[in-house]
Amino acid sequence: MGDEEKRNRAATARRQHLKSVMLQIAATELEKEEARKESEREGYLSEHCPPLHIPGSMQEVQDLCKQLHSKIDAAEEEKYDMEMRVQKTTKELEDLNQKLFDLRGKFKRPPLRRVRMSADAMLRALLGSKHKVCMDLRANLKQVKKEDTEKERDLRDVGDWRKNIEEKSGMEGRKKMFETES
């Protein structure tokens, strides 16, 4: 086990040494990068911004101010034009994205509410005047006569909570409930 511990220690020491060497190399690269950026900045400024010579007389100072104002105006116009171009392209992109979205057919579906509708009403809504088939399923069922027993009649008379549930659903039913209560 002593031999294995030595190997582990050597491996961790080597890892730490490699890590420190890598950090030193990265630090020197960062310094070189900063120096290069600074020299590029100074070169750009010396090329585009000549040194300022402040004249001695009042007229020369006013002329210099006029020149500076004209340069500022030109820069502002260019900035405004670029902003307008960016806004225009952004609007075009939004329009194209909307067209693409529409062409794909992925519309945002609104939340639908349930509507009670008979099969006949659905067919009439879908087919319009073409609807001739009667889908009244209850009419097609066989009629079975059932003998009413006394027990069932008593239960029916007591009051079934499901009774008239369709009449009370919706706004019409609520209106009827309020009218009957008062």
46: in domain:
yes
| 46 and 6 within one domain | yes
12-48: per-residue pLDDT in tens? 999 999 999 999 999 999 999 999 999 999 998 888 8
Among 89-103, 105-119, 127-141, where is mean pLDDT lowest? 127-141
170: in domain:
no
> Which DSSP category does 49 fall into?
S
90: in domain:
yes
At 59 the pLDDT is: 86
| 62 and 41 within one domain | no
| 75 and 35 within one domain | no
Distance CA 97, CA 114 (A): 33
71: in domain:
yes
| 41 and 2 within one domain | yes
Distance CA 50, CA 57 (A): 20
Higher pLDDT, 137 or 47: 47
Distance CA 99, CA 91 (A): 12
Higher pLDDT, 76 or 170: 76
Domain range spanning residue 79?
58-106
Q: What are phi and psi of 118, to 5 degrees?
A: -75, 165
Among 24-28, 126-130, 150-154, where is mean pLDDT lowest? 150-154
| 64 and 45 within one domain | no
Distance CA 61, CA 74 (A): 20
* Tokens 């030595």 -> residue: 6
174: in domain:
no
| 68 and 39 within one domain | no
Three-point CA angle 36, 40, 41, nearest 5°: 115
3: in domain:
yes
| 8 and 46 within one domain | yes
- When the pLDDT of each residue in the chain is averaged and rounded to a whole number, the result is 79
Q: What's the mean pLDDT in 46-71?
A: 83
24: in domain:
yes
pLDDT over 90 for what percent of the chain?
33
Distance CA 140, CA 134 (A): 10
Q: What's the mean pLDDT in 85-113?
A: 84
Tallying the residues shown for the chain, one arrives at 182
Q: How many domains does the chain have?
A: 2
Q: Torsion angle, CA of 166/167/170/176, rounded to 10 degrees?
A: -160
Tell me the whole-structure pTM to 2 decimals. 0.30
| Residue 35 vs residues 20, 25, 57, 181: alpha-carbon distances, Å | 23, 16, 40, 89
88: in domain:
yes
